[in-house]
């Protein structure tokens, strides 16, 4: 097993994840992964992410076999914000998102009561241009954000509001795995989510989460949320205007606010995204690559692309978070 580093940008990220050259050869990807799984996961633990090349992954069964060889047990996604196609137990397509629109930096399901500690991305078909799953160090991002903004978010936490519509985003059934209002209410109650059923039978939810968490193993404080990605000001302006006209601001499919419910200004969202960009590292996908990402230490994005792109996703090592108490959102594991 040989490791090299991602090429550094002119403004390098503080922690650039290593590239592992697998040389799986005739033994096959699963056999190589079984032999080296301890070393691979140790690299992820040390650096926050790792890209494994040379595995030759081409099919869903290939990926399932490698995940098993790495002793990973993918979990079912709950509370997803966009449609995914399930391919196998715990293995999904990338979230449905327009190819021409980038998917901003975020931590997967950082708003959910249970979120994955580890993400696994496998490229079965690479795009002809763009489409990288870019990464950013969450601790470095936290340090680079304006201290007054960090202090406010750390004190108050943040709020995610969602409105479920059949026409846009994940449907109620896709997000919760059920059409039963009673089952949804039970899930939401167990996970600190307020529900408001509308006269037309649709659902709006509100959940209060911490914006900064402390990594359980390293103790590092990490900017861990989707404050910018799921905010109204990150939407395409034309799309936002249409949705506001159609559903009203309170009916947007998702939006974020300060922990006290106040609107987050557009320039604050822009500043968060600028800091992410300054700490972003990119590497184009090659078919057969596998990327493992510590979901707490490392944010990820999906860049705009051309041509076909098939990157499948698994979410493992589930962890639970406790919603911050009213008026507080201090760092918590």
Which domain covers residue 164, as residue numbers?
140-273
pLDDT at position 207, please? 97
Task: Give the whole-angstrom CA distance, residue 29 versus residue 67.
Answer: 10
Start-to-end CA distance of the chain, whole Å, equals: 33
In this structure, is residue 43 part of a structural domain? yes
Q: Is the pLDDT of residue 169 over 60?
A: yes
Mean pLDDT for 251-265 is: 96
Same domain, 195 and 74: no
In this structure, is residue 109 part of a structural domain? no
In contact, 88 and 64? CB cutoff 8 Å: yes
Same domain, 65 and 185: no
Task: Give the whole-angstrom CA distance, residue 52 versus residue 253.
Answer: 36
Same domain, 265 and 309: no
Total-model pTM: 0.91
Task: Give the whole-angstrom CA distance, residue 79 versus residue 164.
Answer: 11
In this structure, is residue 155 part of a structural domain? yes
Same domain, 242 and 292: no
In contact, 167 and 158? CB cutoff 8 Å: no
Same domain, 172 and 267: yes
Same domain, 222 and 296: no
In this structure, is residue 328 part of a structural domain? no
Phi-psi category of 31—alpha, beta or left, where left has phi over 0 and alpha has psi -120 to 50? alpha
In this structure, is residue 19 part of a structural domain? yes
Q: Is the pLDDT of residue 54 over 70?
A: yes
CATH number at residue 269: 3.60.130.10
Give tens-digit pLDDT for 270-299: 999 999 999 999 899 999 999 999 999 999
Q: What is the phi/psi pair of residue 210, to 5°?
A: -75, 145
**Cα 269 to Cα 48, 103, 190, 247, 275, distances in angstroms:** 25, 14, 30, 22, 10
pLDDT at position 14, please? 41
Q: Give the total number of structural domains in the chain.
A: 2
Same domain, 87 and 188: no
Same domain, 257 and 171: yes
Phi-psi category of 252—alpha, beta or left, where left has phi over 0 and alpha has psi -120 to 50? beta
Q: Is the pLDDT of residue 9 over 80?
A: no
Same domain, 160 and 221: yes
Please list, in sequence order, all residues whose beta carbon lies within 8 angstroms of the beta carbon of residue 94, skipping any fewer than 6 positions away: 84, 302, 309, 311, 312, 313
Whole-number mean pLDDT of the chain? Answer: 90
Task: Give the whole-angstrom CA distance, residue 71 versus residue 218.
Answer: 22
HSE-up (13 A, CA, CB side) for residue 272: 26
Give tens-digit pLDDT for 97-120: 999 999 999 999 999 999 999 999
Same domain, 260 and 297: no
Same domain, 33 and 96: yes
Same domain, 210 and 265: yes
pLDDT confidence bin for 227, thresholds 50/70/90: very high
In this structure, is residue 105 part of a structural domain? no
- Cα 249 from chain centre: 24
**Cα 152 to Cα 38, 136, 165, 229, distances in angstroms:** 40, 22, 32, 18
Helix, strand and coil in the chain, % to nearest 5: 30, 30, 45
Q: What is the phi/psi pair of residue 223, to 5°?
A: -75, 110
Task: Give the whole-angstrom CA distance, residue 185 versus residue 221.
Answer: 32
């Amino acid at each position: 097993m040989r490791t090299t580093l991602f090429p550094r940008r002119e403004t390098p990220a503080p922690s650039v994840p290593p590239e592992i050259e697998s040389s799986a050869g005739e033994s096959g990807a699963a056999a190589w992964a079984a032999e080296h799984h301890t070393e691979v996961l140790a690299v992820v633990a040390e650096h926050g992410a790792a890209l494994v090349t040379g595995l030759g992954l081409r099919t869903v069964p290939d990926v399932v076999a490698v995940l098993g060889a790495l002793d990973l047990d993918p979990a079912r996604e709950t509370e997803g914000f966009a449609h995914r196609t399930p391919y196998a137990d715990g293995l999904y397509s990338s979230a449905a998102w327009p190819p021409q629109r980038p998917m901003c930096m975020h931590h997967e399901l950082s708003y959910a009561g249970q979120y994955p500690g580890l993400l696994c991305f496998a490229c079965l078909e690479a795009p002809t241009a763009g489409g990288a799953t870019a990464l950013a160090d969450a601790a470095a991002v936290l340090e680079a954000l304006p201290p007054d903004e960090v202090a406010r978010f750390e004190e108050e936490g943040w709020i995610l509001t969602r409105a479920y519509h059949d026409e846009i985003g994940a449907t109620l059934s896709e997000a919760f795995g059920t059409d039963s209002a009673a089952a949804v209410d039970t899930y939401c109650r167990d996970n600190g989510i307020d529900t408001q059923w509308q006269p037309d039978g649709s659902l709006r939810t509100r959940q209060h989460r911490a914006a900064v968490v402390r990594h359980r193993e390293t103790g590092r404080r990490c900017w861990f949320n989707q404050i910018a990605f799921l905010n109204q000001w990150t939407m395409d302006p034309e799309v936002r205007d249409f949705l506001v006209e159609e559903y009203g601001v309170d009916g947007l499919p998702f939006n974020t606010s300060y922990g006290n419910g106040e609107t987050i200004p557009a320039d604050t969202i822009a500043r968060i995204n600028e800091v992410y960009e300054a700490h972003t590292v990119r590497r184009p996908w090659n078919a057969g690559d596998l990327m493992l990402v510590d979901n707490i230490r490392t944010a990820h994005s999906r860049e705009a692309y051309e041509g076909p792109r098939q990157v499948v996703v698994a979410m493992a090592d589930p962890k639970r978070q406790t919603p911050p108490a009213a008026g507080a959102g201090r760092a918590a594991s």
